[in-house]
Structure 1
Amino acid sequence: MRTTIRDVAARANVSPSTVSLVLNNRPVPISAGTREKVLRAAEEMRYRPNQLAVALATHKTNTIGLIVPDISNIFHTVYCEQIELFAEKRAYSTIIRIAQNDIEDTIRFLYDFEDRAVDGIILTKSVFKDPGDTSKCMQAVRELRIPVMLTDRVPREFIAGAVLPNDYLGGYLAVHHLIDMGHRQIGYITGPLHYGNCRERLRGCREALEKEGIPWDPALVYEGEFDIASGEQALAYLLGKKVTAIFAFNDMIAYGVYKQARSYNLSIPADLSVVGFDDLAFSDLIDPPLTTLEYPVKRMAEAVVDRILAKINREPLSEEPIVFDPVLKVKGSTSRRR
């Protein structure tokens, strides 16, 4: 049977109320000896608080719901892990649901979390290919009676208070680096362009070119998915455009370019320079190591956890979005144009 406060009280020879005061570290005058007896008895009996009783008393479950679009994109897996770690450091548990990029599942999980009485929800994707689905998602968010934090892929009109990466700067830094290496004919393999983060990266690319007086050519843009297959499929098209460098909008796309380049007997970076985005762990393991933009995943995760807890505790928050700048990490996949 589960050990109760009454069991601990009997072992320590004190009242249940004294046990409750000690275990909850209440600021009341209890002697050091009594406090030590209670804590020793609780440890010996492996006492754990009844979370349901705690929730009923405090009106909190110390639980956060986290909805991610998929885990085939390694970035989401890493972000998910970091959010869970920072939540745990703040004594919160995380329940994770994977929506498979589906609007119906996303809405179902939002309402399910509310029914389960989680204290708040972190939603990492609230933009969908169909604008009507995006509207449905945001309508559901507005109807919830618990706090919600938006992060990563967020509709432009709802970025107030959100935690976001500076995708514009990432695009600008990637292309500026390739221009510095002497490249002028640069190809772009994007994720779905209905995502604001993709459009922002592309805007940064375009402005880096314009600053150097290089014309923008939309024919050099290949719209794909955030997966390896898109990198493989895009390479033949972009080689047909005589590109000397490629900016892949995530590291998985870049890896697809690497794989396909081998089948064309192309050497990276001698024949083709490649820049990725995310700085996932494998980017240091492939040959050559991938020049990429480091996504500040840990800092973003900490910020989004801190903000959802502030909302839960009804603390005042700025409506300004928190935007994190990526850092270009130059490794072995880019070189001067020959």
Structure 2
Amino acid sequence: MKVKVKDIARVAGVSPTTVSLVLNNKPSRIADDTKEHIFRVAREMQFQMASEVDFSEYRKVKTLGMIVPDKKNPFYDRLAEEVADCAFLRGYTLFQCGTGDDIQSFYLAIESLMSKNVDGIIVIPPRTMDKENVKLLKSVQKSRVPLMLLDRAAYGVFCDFVTADNKHGGRIATEYLIRQGHTKIGCMVGDANVYTSRKRVEGYREALAAAKIPFEKNCVYYGHFDVESGYAGAKELLDQGVTAIVAGNDLMAYGLYRFAGEHGYSVPGDLSVIGYDNTELCELMVPPLTSIDQNAGTMASKAVEVILQQVEIQEEEEQEPARNYYFTPYIQERESVRMVSWS
């Protein structure tokens, strides 16, 4: 049963008015020992103060929504944290919805954010994006709620899009390995239908072509951006005789490390590895992982800037064409790649 002011007054032997004055720290002539007695009784009775904040005095709280498909992915976790920080600095609170790749969760997340009347929604599309999801996002656009895509594009959804140049990332990772003397290079990515996977493989193929190294489709492994796929992909690519691998992200690289360690392969002695995302995992691996950094902080800052521009334009009832914003990734060198020489 909830403890009330009158209950404390009865136990303390004072009036309810006296209790209310003390607990609300109102000016009064009540003796200090009486105040201490009332506070002690309140603590013993586990009294909880009711909020007396009058929210009607506040302006509408400014909020943004964000859909994150995989909170276990350290890159997405960092990206969401950066977006939240940037939004806060602009006076907005961020509601994050972790959906995984479950379609129903994605639907519920969108409905939840819409019901909260958020000012705008930032979406990282799930890998299972299909026509029904596209219809849902188009419905959001028709409702005039500002919408933008982050990191991954969604076919058929035309809105502002902020991402790293994934083709460039795949290319510079492959070129780096080629400069170290590798000619049999594997590439592992997520699902073939995912935007980031397609673009990184395009960059990988461009780098091979520029170096006049034949492309072998068996040297590309499509899985998911997780540890299990890294482990499975390592076996398939090592069976093809590769000496180096561009991993789809640092989680896949970690799975690759696990396979190598369990099957007698040395990194980088027998196998050179480049990860993707440059997360905290890189420094925890042995040896530390060379990885592609996507400029998560810059991407997050731009995403918030772009969605808030939409919010302001919406208020002015103006419309501008959707734009794509690309950021250039770079290599963070560590110790997982070695130079090879062929006699």
Q: Please name the residue that 1:26 is paired with.
A: none
Q: C-alpha distance in 1, partners of 2:308/2:220?
A: 40
8 Å CA contact retained: 2:134, 2:156: no
SS at match of 2:151: strand
Q: Please name the residue that 1:27 is paired with.
A: none
Q: C-alpha distance in 1, partners of 2:55/2:301?
A: 25
8 Å CA contact retained: 1:155, 1:196: yes
Deviation at 1:48, TM superposition (A): 10
Q: Please name the residue that 1:281 is paired with.
A: 280
Q: Please name the residue that 2:339 is paired with.
A: 336
* Counterpart AA for 1:108: L
Q: C-alpha distance in 1, partners of 2:265/2:148?
A: 44
* Counterpart AA for 1:191: G
Q: Please name the residue that 1:194 is paired with.
A: 193
Q: Please name the residue that 2:117 is paired with.
A: 117
Structure 1 residue 149 corresponds to structure 2 residue 151: no
Deviation at 1:156, TM superposition (A): 4.6
SS at match of 2:212: coil
Q: 1:284 to 1:307 in 2, by over 3 A?
A: same
Structure 1 residue 319 corresponds to structure 2 residue 318: no
Q: C-alpha distance in 2, partners of 1:102/1:209?
A: 36
Q: 1:294 to 1:155 in 2, by over 3 A?
A: same
Deviation at 1:227, TM superposition (A): 0.7
8 Å CA contact retained: 1:231, 1:257: yes
SS at match of 2:160: coil
Q: 1:89 to 1:130 in 2, by over 3 A?
A: closer
How well do the aligned residues superpose, as a CA RMSD in angstroms? 2.4
Deviation at 1:319, TM superposition (A): 3.2
Q: C-alpha distance in 1, partners of 2:52/2:151?
A: 36
Report 1:144-183 matches (<5 A).
Answer: 144-158=143-157, 160-183=159-182
Deviation at 1:318, TM superposition (A): 6.3
8 Å CA contact retained: 1:244, 1:337: no
* Counterpart AA for 2:136: C
Identity of aligned residues (%): 31
* Counterpart AA for 1:303: K
Q: C-alpha distance in 2, partners of 1:183/1:49?
A: 66
8 Å CA contact retained: 2:129, 2:154: no
* Counterpart AA for 1:325: T
Q: Please name the residue that 1:267 is paired with.
A: 266
Structure 2: gaps of 5 or more residues: 6-26, 28-50
TM-score by length of 2: 0.79
8 Å CA contact retained: 2:134, 2:157: no
Q: C-alpha distance in 1, partners of 2:147/2:285?
A: 38
SS at match of 1:140: helix
Deviation at 1:280, TM superposition (A): 0.2
Q: C-alpha distance in 1, partners of 2:329/2:55?
A: 40
SS at match of 1:313: helix
* Counterpart AA for 1:178: L
Q: Please name the residue that 1:80 is paired with.
A: 80
8 Å CA contact retained: 2:122, 2:149: yes
| CA deviation map 1:192-225 (0-9, x unaligned) | 1111111000000000000111111001111111
Q: 1:313 to 1:237 in 2, by over 3 A?
A: same
SS at match of 2:128: coil
Q: How many residues align?
A: 291
Q: 1:145 to 1:108 in 2, by over 3 A?
A: farther
Deviation at 1:266, TM superposition (A): 1.3
Q: Please name the residue that 1:40 is paired with.
A: none
* Higher Rg: 2
Q: Please name the residue that 2:21 is paired with.
A: none
Structure 1: gaps of 5 or more residues: 2-10, 12-46
Structure 1 residue 54 corresponds to structure 2 residue 58: yes
